[in-house]
């Protein structure tokens, strides 16, 4: 166990080093995977304005805060949020320690591979699955479990690793913003510790710039060594009205740019838009059923309904994935 933990630490250090030496996208060709349509033009125009000292819209670097939703904005979220798929895999992997799960929902359905049945119990069922797969271990143990899962697990329909299902145009957007003095944050309904395992390596976003939902943790001394134990109790849900609350709590200043894809991001975009000076609010609209998935107003994940109306009313950028993006996922290295 000790050796594995050390291995993990070494791997994390290695990721961190890679992130530290990453070379920003050359300013000459930003957003290479974006077609030269209105979204790209608006993004570039915004960046030129806020970074130009001569412009009335100039924003000093410390205030160049950009916030990104994760599920459906930086990576895919179909057929279900990837963190829920982790929970299913984790329940299967630990079932031998829980013989009672064979006869208890939602676990019984998960073990039979019946995703629909597992989710039939609604939020209460999902919460049980989350707690069974996220709580009852130390933070170090959880990091180790998720690291091992994300390094090996495959998406049920594409067969890709989950970290290959990130959006190439959004990776370029993250790079472009950072090359222009922005500090990029993730503000997601997903679990904060789940995301932190991969955000630095995959998105170049370090753990301290990840805001997400949290469960309670407790400090304990075990054999004279301090540990943090993850408790089966929700602490904070970083979604909808929770997103501006989370931004205020974790970041402490209002972003000038916000990127989302669903109604869960609406209040984050409203909060961002309501500040003074130039603002960029953008929705990714899932319109590409061939290369990814097509869904919006009626979807069971990433529903985009009220948000789409508000975007049209406010003139926010709406990315049509099919028309505006040359590629969806990164090419394999």
The footprint of a copy of itself (CB under 8 A) covers: 6, 9, 13, 16-17, 19-20, 60-63, 65, 139, 183, 185, 192-193, 196, 200, 206-210, 214, 217-219, 221, 225-226, 228, 241-242, 244-245, 248-253, 267, 270-271, 274, 276
| Of 223 and 298, CB closest to a copy of itself | 223
Q: In whole angstroms, what is the distance from residue 204 CA to residue 150 CA?
A: 17
Q: What are phi and psi of 70, to 5 degrees?
A: -105, -65
DSSP assignment letter at 249? I
Nearest distance from C-beta of residue 87 to a copy of itself, angstroms: 20
Q: In a 3-state reduction of DSSP, which class is residue 331?
A: coil
| Of 13 and 102, CB closest to a copy of itself | 13
Q: In whole angstroms, what is the distance from residue 275 CA to residue 259 CA?
A: 15
> Which neighbouring-strand residues pair with 317?
282
| Of 169 and 255, CB closest to a copy of itself | 255
| Of 269 and 282, CB closest to a copy of itself | 269
Nearest distance from C-beta of residue 304 to a copy of itself, angstroms: 19
Nearest distance from C-beta of residue 26 to a copy of itself, angstroms: 23
Q: Which residue has the tokens 């998406």?
A: 155
Q: In whole angstroms, what is the distance from residue 56 CA to residue 276 CA?
A: 12
Q: In whole angstroms, what is the distance from residue 15 CA to residue 168 CA?
A: 19
Nearest to 73 by CA among 157, 221, 185, 237: 185
> Which neighbouring-strand residues pair with 66?
184, 257
Nearest distance from C-beta of residue 201 to a copy of itself, angstroms: 11
| Of 50 and 328, CB closest to a copy of itself | 50
Nearest distance from C-beta of residue 12 to a copy of itself, angstroms: 8
Tell the burial category of 60 from Cβ atoms under 10 Å away from its Cβ (0-12, 13-18, 19+): exposed
| Of 48 and 208, CB closest to a copy of itself | 208
C-alpha distances out from residue 298 to 126, 239, 263, 287, Å: 20, 18, 11, 13
Nearest distance from C-beta of residue 150 to a copy of itself, angstroms: 16
Nearest to 175 by CA among 324, 325, 26, 14: 26
| Of 258 and 319, CB closest to a copy of itself | 258
Strand intervals (E) in 3-91: 65-68
Nearest distance from C-beta of residue 65 to a copy of itself, angstroms: 8
Nearest distance from C-beta of residue 321 to a copy of itself, angstroms: 28
Q: What are phi and psi of 303, to 5 degrees?
A: -60, 130
| Of 73 and 267, CB closest to a copy of itself | 267
Q: Say if CB 304 and CB 297 are below 8 A apart.
A: yes
Cα angle: 73, vertex 206, 219; to 5 degrees = 110
| Of 128 and 243, CB closest to a copy of itself | 243
Nearest distance from C-beta of residue 158 to a copy of itself, angstroms: 29
Q: Say if CB 226 and CB 219 are below 8 A apart.
A: yes
């Amino acid at each position: 166990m000790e050796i594995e933990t050390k291995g993990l630490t070494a791997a994390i250090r290695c990721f961190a080093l890679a992130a530290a030496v990453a070379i920003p996208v050359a300013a000459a060709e930003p957003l290479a995977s974006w077609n030269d349509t209105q979204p790209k033009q608006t993004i570039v125009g915004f960046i030129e304005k806020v970074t130009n000292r001569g412009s009335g819209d100039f924003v000093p670097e410390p205030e160049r805060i950009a916030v990104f939703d994760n599920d459906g904005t930086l990576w895919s979220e179909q057929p279900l949020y990837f963190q829920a798929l982790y929970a299913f895999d984790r329940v299967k992997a630990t079932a031998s320690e829980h013989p009672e799960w064979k006869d208890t929902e939602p676990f019984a359905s998960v073990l039979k591979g019946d995703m629909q049945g597992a989710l039939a119990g609604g939020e209460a069922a999902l919460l049980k699955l989350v707690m069974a797969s996220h709580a009852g271990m130390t933070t170090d143990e959880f990091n180790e479990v998720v690291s091992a899962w994300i390094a090996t697990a495959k998406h049920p329909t594409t067969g890709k690793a989950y970290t290959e299902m990130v959006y190439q145009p959004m990776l370029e957007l993250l790079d472009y913003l950072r090359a222009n003095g922005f500090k990029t944050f993730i503000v997601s309904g997903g679990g904060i510790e789940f995301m932190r395992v991969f955000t630095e390596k995959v998105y170049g976003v370090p753990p301290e710039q990840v805001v997400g939902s949290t469960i309670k943790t407790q400090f304990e001394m075990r054999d004279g060594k301090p540990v943090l134990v993850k408790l089966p109790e929700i602490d904070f849900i970083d979604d909808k009205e929770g997103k501006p609350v989370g931004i205020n709590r974790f970041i402490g200043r209002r972003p000038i740019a916000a990127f989302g894809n669903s109604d869960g991001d609406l209040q984050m975009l409203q909060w961002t838009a309501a500040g003074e000076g130039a603002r960029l609010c953008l929705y990714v609209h899932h319109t590409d059923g061939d290369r990814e998935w097509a869904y919006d107003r009626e979807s069971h994940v990433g529903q985009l309904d009220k948000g789409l109306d508000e975007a049209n009313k406010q003139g926010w950028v709406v990315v049509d994935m099919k028309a505006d993006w040359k590629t969806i996922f990164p090419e394999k290295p």
